[in-house]
Chains A and B, each alone.
Chain A
Amino acid sequence: MPGLRNTLRDLRATHSMTQQELADAIGVTRQTVIAIELDKYSPSLETAFRIAHVFSVPLEQVFQYDPPSSRKK
């Protein structure tokens, strides 16, 4: 997914949380968590905030945005 990166996998590992546990905590399916981790799906703002809330970190620590000018060609 161009533009948006995330540290979901690292945060899950830090908190010893499975994909299913995170999915249950934020109210999505495990397949959606997998898609987010693989940068195949950009979640809604609400879900993004829920993820940040689960890990008790600011949103910017979970998701990072690369503006088009800074992306590799």
Chain B
Amino acid sequence: MMPSLSYQEKSLYGELIADLAVFVPYFVYMHLHHATLTVSIIAAAITILIAIQIVLQIVIAAFTRNRLKDERDRLIRLRGYRAGYFTIVGVMLFGMGALWVHTTLGQINPTHMALHFLTMFFAVLMIAEIVKTITQLIAYRRPL
């Protein structure tokens, strides 16, 4: 039997939709136009993400009567943040290693290092955010 979704779950689905709606086009764009990386693209992605989040969360809140958060929600949130933390650590180490290898091989111009690092850092945060949200959604459906 599939129980109905709580406000927290609906909110998480909203987060996931917003994350994917921004991050997937961002990654595709970055992959196709990696020669034209700019800070403005990252800033635009963050701005669009915040705008979508605000709209979705307002809609979800408007259509949910009971917005109570209890001990199980808090426990699941902690699990999500733990998964996100380990993702940040793991992917960051991998990303820095990749940057080092590409720089050593001469595939990255050292003068663009800061921009490459910024892009990698943003990607790490985005991946960790998605992992965190998915972990929480799974935790809602599994025994704790």
Q: Report A's interface with B, CB cutoff 8 A.
A: 1, 27-32, 34-35, 39-44, 47
Looking at the assembled complex, report how far the CB atom of B67 sits from the nearest CB atom of chain A, in whole angstroms: 10
A41-B72, A44-B71, A47-B71 known; A29-B144 Cβ under 8 A: no
Assess the A35–B72 pair: CB atoms within 8 A.
Answer: yes
Does B85 sit within 8 A of A, measured CB to CB? no
Taken together as a complex, chains A and B put the C-alpha atoms of A39 and B142 apart, in Å, by 10
Place the interface of chain B in its size category: 10 to 19
Assess the B72–A27 pair: CB atoms within 8 A.
Answer: no
Assess the A28–B3 pair: CB atoms within 8 A.
Answer: no
Interface of B is mostly: loop
Does B106 sit within 8 A of A, measured CB to CB? no
- Pick the contact of A39: B4, B6, B69, B143 (CB < 8 A): B143
Taken together as a complex, chains A and B put the C-alpha atoms of A30 and B4 apart, in Å, by 9
Question: A32 — which chain B residues lie within 8 A by C-beta?
Answer: 70-73
Question: A31 — which chain B residues lie within 8 A by C-beta?
Answer: 3-6, 9, 72, 140
Looking at the assembled complex, report how far the CB atom of A50 sits from the nearest CB atom of chain B, in whole angstroms: 11
